[in-house]
Amino acid sequence: RRQVYLAERHLPFETRDRVSVRVMMNAGLLMDMGHLEDAGAMGVGLYRTELPFMTRPSLPDVATQTLLYQKIREQAGGKPVVFRTLDVGGDKLLPYWTNDGEDNPAMGWRSIRITLDRPAVLRAQIRALLRASAGQDLRLMFPMIATVQEFRQARRLLDVEVERERARGGLLPRQVRVGTMLEVPSLLYQFPELLPEVDFVSVGSNDLLQFLFATDRGNPRVSGRYDPLSVPVLRLLRDVRWLCEAAGKPVTVCGEMAGRPIEAMALIGLGYRSLSMAAQGVGPVKQMLRSMDTREVTAYVTALAESDDPNPRRGLRAFARD
Ligand code: PEP
Ligand code: MG
């Protein structure tokens, strides 16, 4: 199968009825970037920046980070890369920041909460991203945003850093696009205030579903209990897509579900035209989407979202087989 995917990597990401889907890759290590070419992804829709922080004995300084982000950009060879700012805590612990004593680390001091409490860390990272993107387009997004105020606070730090670089005569990026991840359900109910202020939205379905169903994504006893292909999730994702479109803001799904063919098919049926996934998902998803007809899938999935089907996956599988 790998040979087949490799042979098909230059074919367009297009459905049978000629609808283009933007298929991107998730990455977190410099060596992941090599897959961009062989998987044939259109760019990196989620670059998880925390791994280099986790493998060092102390925080990497601005110069180290700048070099690293430059290398990532070079490896991307002009394809877009969406950098996500530091998302540690929860299950991603830094050796030099102990985070013990939390009963619920997934809901504890993690991600943007840490970097807003330690703004120097976020500012240093943003500074490095700005420098590594001098004269080019920079796309960055903030993880685990739960309130519009958190987004504004993070964005303000970006503005401060842009001004600082300008004042010292540094070459700035040509354009900076700033997005939010949607991982905490509360954010959905702040979309009217939030959407006008963001350039794009990226749905982190791993955390979003963990919080939606109140199930620990790392606990096998419960993590398989609720299916991402269930009616409440289909409705939620349908509404998210619709609200983003109404506000004119691009939306991508970058959680693991985007890289599974049946899930990806359902997402396309719900109107998503941009997905970002682990490199090994790109080939199978491409094969699926090149064999599907958007109109048929949309009609089927839209009806499913309106139904009270206890097991939409069964129907979607049969539909895909047909
Ligand atoms: C997510 O939560 O869906 C996501 C993409 O982020 P991570 O898996 O890194 O938490
Ligand atoms: Mg997440």
Instruction: State which H helix or E strand residue 139 sits in.
Output: strand 137-142
Question: Could you give the CA distance from residue 210 to residue 189 in angstroms, rounded to a whole number?
Answer: 18
Q: What is the pLDDT of residues 152-186, one digit of tens each?
A: 999 999 999 999 999 999 999 999 999 999 999 99
What are the backbone angles phi and psi of residue 16, rounded to the nearest 5°? -60, -35
Residues 6 or more apart whose CB falls under 8 angstroms from that of 116 comprise 122, 150, 153, 154
Query: What is the reported pLDDT for 152?
Result: 98
Q: With bands split at pLDDT 50, 70 and 90, how would you rate the model's confidence at 118? A: very high
Instruction: Pick the residue whose CA is nearest to atom 3 on ligand 1.
Output: 204
What are the structure tokens assigned to 171, written together?
């070459």
Q: What is the pLDDT of residues 191-226, one digit of tens each?
A: 999 999 999 999 999 999 999 999 998 899 998 899
Q: Is 177 exposed, middle or buried (0-12, 13-18, 19+ CB in 10 A)?
A: middle
Pocket probe mutation, ligand 1, options 85, 112, 207, 251, max atoms within 8 Å of Cβ: 207
Query: What is the reported pLDDT for 9?
Result: 87
CB 143, CB 85: distance < 8 Å: yes
Q: With bands split at pLDDT 50, 70 and 90, how would you rate the model's confidence at 101? A: confident
Query: What is the reported pLDDT for 224?
Result: 87
- The ligand placed nearest to the CA atom of residue 28 is 1
Q: What is the pLDDT of residues 9-29, one digit of tens each?
A: 889 999 999 999 999 999 999
Please work out whether the CB of residue 263 comes within 6 Å of at least one atom of ligand 1. no
Largest Cα–Cα distance of the chain, in whole Å? 61
Please work out whether the CB of residue 110 comes within 6 Å of at least one atom of ligand 1. no
Please work out whether the CB of residue 254 comes within 6 Å of at least one atom of ligand 1. yes
Distance 206 CA to ligand 2 centre (A): 6
CB 45, CB 276: distance < 8 Å: yes
Chain position carrying tokens 């719900």: 270
Query: DSSP string covering 5-33, please?
Result: HHHTTTS-SB-TT--B-EEEEEE-SGGGG
What are the structure tokens assigned to 6, written together?
């490799």
Residues 240-244 have a mean pLDDT of 98
Please work out whether the CB of residue 48 comes within 6 Å of at least one atom of ligand 1. yes
CB 223, CB 217: distance < 8 Å: yes
CB 109, CB 148: distance < 8 Å: no
Distance 207 CA to ligand 1 centre (A): 6
Query: What is the reported pLDDT for 99?
Result: 66
Give this complex's ipTM. Answer: 0.99
Q: What is the pLDDT of residues 283-319, one digit of tens each?
A: 999 999 999 999 999 999 999 999 999 999 999 999 9
Instruction: Pick the residue whose CA is nearest to atom 8 on ligand 1.
Output: 206
CB 205, CB 228: distance < 8 Å: yes
Query: What is the reported pLDDT for 55?
Result: 87
Please work out whether the CB of residue 150 comes within 6 Å of at least one atom of ligand 1. no
Please work out whether the CB of residue 90 comes within 6 Å of at least one atom of ligand 1. no
For the cut 90, the answer to whether the pLDDT of residue 90 exceeds it is no
Pocket probe mutation, ligand 1, options 24, 29, 44, 87, max atoms within 8 Å of Cβ: 87
Instruction: State which H helix or E strand residue 63 sits in.
Output: helix 62-76
- The ligand placed nearest to the CA atom of residue 84 is 1
What are the structure tokens assigned to 275, written together?
């997905």
Residues 77-99 have a mean pLDDT of 87
Determine what percent of the chain is predicted with pLDDT higher than 70.
99
